[in-house]
Structure 1
């Protein structure tokens, strides 16, 4: 069952002069429970595609259908609510709230979703332990390393068990052990909660674990490959 479908999605800069296509008629379907990596050189459109799918950026043309509704046509308030209820974001720049502690950043989305206090606190503790930051719960982002901030960002995205997680280079600032641990957490939630994961990545560790690899070049899909574990390992 397709839960996300992009139809002829284009993102064009300078359309009235010399048009630059960040995305060029992208047509993709994503099924529930996918674990997909979007790859390609810098400037190929990976981050732009994630932002359009997540409703963070408008498309110049086309539609993004999620459960049969075009999210690009949702009004501001409805789009914000949809993102809050259904999508977890992991940004390359972390986007943590600087005045909040690691614990408070992780529980922030659950607070907006009105989770009961005990359930929210238990889930936050679980995620801090899962990403190896139990001893950093009271630390502000400025007191954390880049890798630790990235782990907080991932924990925040996963804490509320969203239907979809859109992750832009989620392992870019992590050492090998931390990256593998985070990918294990994501795979566990993917398998047990059927959360759909879509990554923008250059990281072979992510590509190795992905069950589907989509390659973009100059804003176009140039390949879309389903892979099993043996095929993935053979790529390394």
Structure 2
């Protein structure tokens, strides 16, 4: 299988001139197409920082991150925005839904930016909202949704344009058992059928139990890396 994410000796320090916080230290990480990975570890271990670095939301102080043969650490800000738009879906712990848009409009937005046809957008949105059991909330704004409902909309937004990678920071933290299981089922199906790569930062045992590779971080470094990688038979015919 081809390595699609290659993080080489990446480090990130916050507040270097006052009280340095070494969030990620000299991390090497190689991911193949179709992996279903959980980043785990105690609070402050560097999970979210590593996820943000892999997604190009933050830049390492040193090291390189190569995704599909493109070194994203060398892209200009505009090129990096375009790369994220075309390749990566994000699920943020704080949802980051746009408050003036309805649930439907939040999910549609990235597809409009990618110039999808309106009929395809409508079909995709309706399908996703049926999957997350929120069809009756399509035209509701985020402030009128519960935390769990907002999280489901945020996951639908991340999956909407069928990105190559989904980076999810505690995607099930606000969900009950049924909702979490349904969302994990959706993501596992996309992973299996379409070769979509998923990387989760999580404390949730429900996510960890589904992951085929578990990477443990301690003090910004990888302390263990266990698992079986991608489902090779299904991914082979999806490439």
TM-score by length of structure 2 reads: 0.93
1:119-134 paired onto structure 2 within 5 Å:
119-134=120-135
1:81-120 paired onto structure 2 within 5 Å:
81-120=82-121
Q: What 5-or-longer segments of structure 1 have no aligned partner?
A: 229-236
How far residue 70 of structure 1 moved from its aligned partner, in angstroms, is 1.1
How far residue 20 of structure 1 moved from its aligned partner, in angstroms, is 2.4
State the distance in 2 between where 1:25 and 1:18 align.
19
State the distance in 1 between where 2:129 and 2:53 align.
30
State the distance in 1 between where 2:98 and 2:17 align.
38
Residue-by-residue CA offset, 1:46-87 (whole Å, 9 max, x unaligned): 000010000001111101011122101100111000000000
Q: What 5-or-longer segments of structure 2 have no aligned partner?
A: 230-239
State the distance in 1 between where 2:188 and 2:3 align.
20
How far residue 92 of structure 1 moved from its aligned partner, in angstroms, is 0.2
State the distance in 1 between where 2:19 and 2:9 align.
20
Residue 20 of structure 2: aligned partner: 19
Residue 200 of structure 1: aligned partner: 201
Aligned residues: 228
How far residue 13 of structure 1 moved from its aligned partner, in angstroms, is 2.3
Residue-by-residue CA offset, 1:76-126 (whole Å, 9 max, x unaligned): 111000000000000000000101111111111101100001001100100
Residue-by-residue CA offset, 1:142-176 (whole Å, 9 max, x unaligned): 00000000000000000100000000000000000
Residue 4 of structure 1 contacts residue 31 of structure 1 at CA under 8 Å; is this kept in 2?
yes
Q: Secondary structure at the match of 2:171?
A: coil
State the distance in 2 between where 1:169 and 1:221 align.
19
Specify whether residues 16 and 97 from structure 1 end up closer, same or farther in structure 2 by C-alpha distance, changes over 3 A only. Answer: closer
State the distance in 2 between where 1:18 and 1:178 align.
40
Residue 86 of structure 1 contacts residue 164 of structure 1 at CA under 8 Å; is this kept in 2?
yes
Q: Secondary structure at the match of 1:59?
A: coil
State the distance in 2 between where 1:16 and 1:100 align.
40
Residue 46 of structure 1: aligned partner: 47
State the distance in 2 between where 1:205 and 1:38 align.
13
